[in-house]
Amino acid sequence: MDAWWQCEIPYPYVDKRITDAADSVRASLPNRLCDPRIAANLFHEVLDEFALCDELGMNVLCIEHHAGINSLIGSNPMITGILARQTRNVRVLSLGTLISLRPDPVRVAEEYATADCLLRGRFEIGFVKSGGTEVASSNMQPVNNEERFWEAIDLIKKTLTSHDGPFSWEGKHYTHRHVNIWPGPYQQPHPRMWAATGDPRSAAEVGRRGMTHVLVLRGPEGTKKAYEAHRTARREAGLPKVTTDNFAYAAMVYVGETEEEGIEGGTKLLWFLNTSLKSAPQYNKFLPGAAPPQAAPGLYRTMPRAEAGLALTDAEKGVAPASQNAQKLMGLTAQEAMQQGILFAGTPDSVHRQIMEFYDKVGGFGHLCLIGRSGYMTHEESKKGIRLFSKEVLPRLREVAPVEVG
């Protein structure tokens, strides 16, 4: 098993009275509430933390979000380019450019190929379906967002693997008459591709495409169900079995010298759930195309009825959309988050035990993506957590070899 450290570079320094009164902390808060001097310090601190991961041999990943306190990284390619020059040893995962919000997937493919060359083959490509607030802030059509997502992936893959001169693309959502990027990717035929998705239908598509499948904060039941959908789709399509290296899980992780210190750090990470997930209904359940029509009656209720098949417990199972999963996560304490496999915190021994217990519950995975800093965690606290995890936990995880799952 390998590990990938990340920080979304959140901005927690907005008066709580403002965030409590706001209907959404994403997309709608005025940016006058963000002090660019503080933002600059946060960027430099986290870039230094990525450099520390490189020094200690732990892979890194970079995300992208827009117009909210949850993340200041509005340009994944820019941060990835910095990491390409700043790191020397580890792999860098872009997870990732929100491709269904970009008008030209070919330009995205060019950015990926450039990053792979800069990294001399240490690059991995991750695709994430955009959230509701990002659809609004990007001025994109929310209907058919998933169709655009998969078509963009197809066009990006063909662009990265075509080396015999221009080709044309005539798709449902994208038309490009002349595709011929320079340079192509360093890795042939292309860097490994990941996709983050939790619902069974998308999980099945990830499986058929043979991509690395990452689940984010879905807990054991939702993760197991998605992994099973991935494997079942491959089996039904007559495709070969895969190993646990095809699966990844993202959780909040903090390691301390004592159990108390570890849980205190983990509690600070919960800011991401307790504050930054707050989103207004127009950005989720009332957003056109955000959920299948059969789910709409249950979504429009404040508390969906269990008998309608849309209980909040089903959000973890991948039945309900991400917006309901977010509702379920917002009030969790550290102990509750640990029980649900959303937070791994404590001493090195206890964190290793928690990870392996989760591994057994979901049927195994080959990659752990660590949300290692959030909220009011300081630079020094973050670096301490990185060092302890890298030196005391990661070597034990790397002893877990890939096994075939089918």
- Residue showing tokens 């959303």: 342
In the chain, where the domains are located = 2-272+336-405
CA–CA separation, 145 and 127 (whole Å)? 13
In contact, 24 and 132? CB cutoff 8 Å: no
Judged by phi (left if over 0) then psi (alpha if -120 to 50, else beta), residue 190 lies in beta
| Class of the CATH-defined domain 2-272+336-405 | alpha beta
**Gyration radius (Cα) of the chain, Å:** 20
The answer to whether 320 touches 200, Cβ cutoff 8 Å, is no
Residue pair 226/153 in contact (Cβ under 8 Å)? The answer is no
Q: What is d(CA 399, CA 397) in angstroms, rounded to the nearest whole number?
A: 5
Q: Which residues contact 175 (CB under 8 A, 6 or more apart)?
A: 169
Q: Cα 175 to chain center, whole Å? A: 28
Helix H segments across 100-218?
105-118, 132-137, 145-161, 200-209
Q: What is the pLDDT along the chain (406 residues), one digit of tens a residue?
A: 999 999 999 999 999 999 999 999 988 899 999 999 999 999 999 999 999 999 999 999 999 999 999 999 999 999 999 999 999 999 999 998 899 989 999 999 999 999 999 999 999 999 998 778 888 888 888 888 889 999 999 999 999 999 999 999 999 999 999 999 999 999 999 999 999 998 888 999 999 999 999 999 999 999 999 999 999 999 999 999 999 999 999 999 999 999 999 999 999 999 999 888 888 888 877 788 767 677 767 776 665 444 433 333 333 334 345 555 566 677 789 999 999 999 999 999 999 999 999 999 999 999 999 999 999 999 999 999 999 999 999 999 999 999 999 7
Give the pTM. Answer: 0.90
Comparing CA positions, the residue from 275, 263, 286 lying closest to residue 354 is 263
